[in-house]
Each structure stands twice: as C-alpha cells, then as structure tokens.
Amino acid sequence: MITRKQIVTLFVIGSLIVGGAIQAYSIVFVHLGSTLPKHMTDALLQARIFNPTCEIVLLANRKALDTFVDYHNINTTLIPVESIAKTNEHKEFIKKSTLKKIDQRENFWLFTSERFLYLDDYMQQHDKKDVFHLENDVLLYANLAEMLPTFTKYYKGLAAVFDNDDRCIASIVYIHNKKSLRPLSRYFASHASKGKNDMEILALFRQANGEKIIGSLPIT
C-alpha cells in the first residue's frame, strides 16, 4: 500500500513546477470560537497531502489553538486571530452587526461572516496573494499548483461557488491578492445591520459588482 510519504513525494516531483517556476500560493482555514471541531485535523491533513509544500494557515481564536496537536506533522502555520490588527471595516462590522441577535446557533452566522473580515485583516497585514480559503469541513482532492495558472488567468479578483443567483456556498474561495478582498470587506461592513448571512451577502455583492470582481467557480 502506498504511504503518505510516497504520495507527498510524487506530488512534489510531478506537480509543483509550473511554467518553470514554483507557484506561490497558500491555503487558509478560519475557525472562530473557543474549540476546534474534531474534523479540523482531517481537512488540514487532506489539504497537505495534495499540496505538500505550500503554506497552510489556520486562523483561530487563541483558546482553540491552545488545544491543537499536530499528530500527523501537517506543518500548519497557527495564527491567533487576537494577534491580527483589525481593519476599520472589521471594527465597523463588529459595531453594526445584528447577526448575533438573530443567531440561534452560538454565533454561527456571525462567525461565518466575520471570517471574511479576519481573512482581510490577515492578508493586509501579511501582504498575501493567491490565497485559497477552505471551510473546515471541505476535503481537498487537488494540487492547487496545477490549477493556479487557470485561477490567475480567469479570476483577477475573487472567485467562489454559487449554487444560484441568490446564494453563495463559500466552501472554497479564491482571493487573487490583498486588494481583491477590500471591496468585500467594505460591503460586509456597510451591510452589517441588515441581518444577512455570509451566503446572502456574497450573492448580493456579486449582483452589485459583477463577475469581474467576484467570479463563479464551476459546480458541474
């Protein structure tokens, strides 16, 4: 039976060099709350198996990260969200958001929306580009180094999964560079008082700005 080490070696040899140069990108997970879900490690490990050398980042609350144990040597960069300076848009979102008042699942909708503000904080502070954000229940079966040229060619801003015109399934979101996320952060902040969840806000943002700002990833 092929081992995980052999799988990693195969992908390093066969997939990392694209167009004669190593493609720089990162995979970022965000989880807000005091505990990490049990499946978090599975998602991280799966991403690492198929992307053996890229940076994989987990943004989470410090209390949750304190309990994280890397049994599988996944080599994940752990960043407490408390250590990241908040943008003005993030502060405005916190001040105006009404999601906590209508949320019945321990701030679920608040956190799923606020993750995009933390992503923006992180990308601005660390000057990141070509970021793939995955939700923590998504298992990745692709080497993104092979796909990156397609993403950079066709998506100059953001790209996400929309199952219809009025809803985004943000299971995977591509962010071209730190400037690409600024308009979305401003949109979240300006609509924070409307009580819309992240799936609705992303759809409204696409309707208001078009495919050049946030493209639709294929779902078939």
DSSP 165: T
Q: What is the pTM of this model?
A: 0.88
Tens digit of pLDDT at every position of the chain (220 positions) = 334 444 444 444 344 433 444 558 999 999 999 999 999 999 999 999 999 999 999 999 999 999 999 999 999 999 999 999 999 999 999 999 999 876 666 789 999 999 999 999 999 999 999 999 999 999 999 999 999 999 999 999 999 999 999 999 999 999 999 999 999 999 999 999 999 999 999 999 999 999 999 999 998 7
Do residues 152 and 217 make contact, with C-beta atoms less than 8 angstroms apart? no
Percent of the chain's residues with pLDDT above 70:
88
- Cα–Cα distance, 212 to 156 (Å, whole number): 7
Integer angstrom CA distances of residue 64 from 32, 35, 175: 8, 4, 25
59-115 per-position pLDDT tens digit: 999 999 999 999 999 999 999 999 999 999 999 999 999 998 766 667 899 999 999
Scanning the chain, the segments in alpha helix (DSSP H) are: 4-15, 40-50, 62-65, 88-96, 99-102, 108-126, 144-154, 178-190, 198-209
- The three-point CA angle 192-197-199 to 5° equals 125
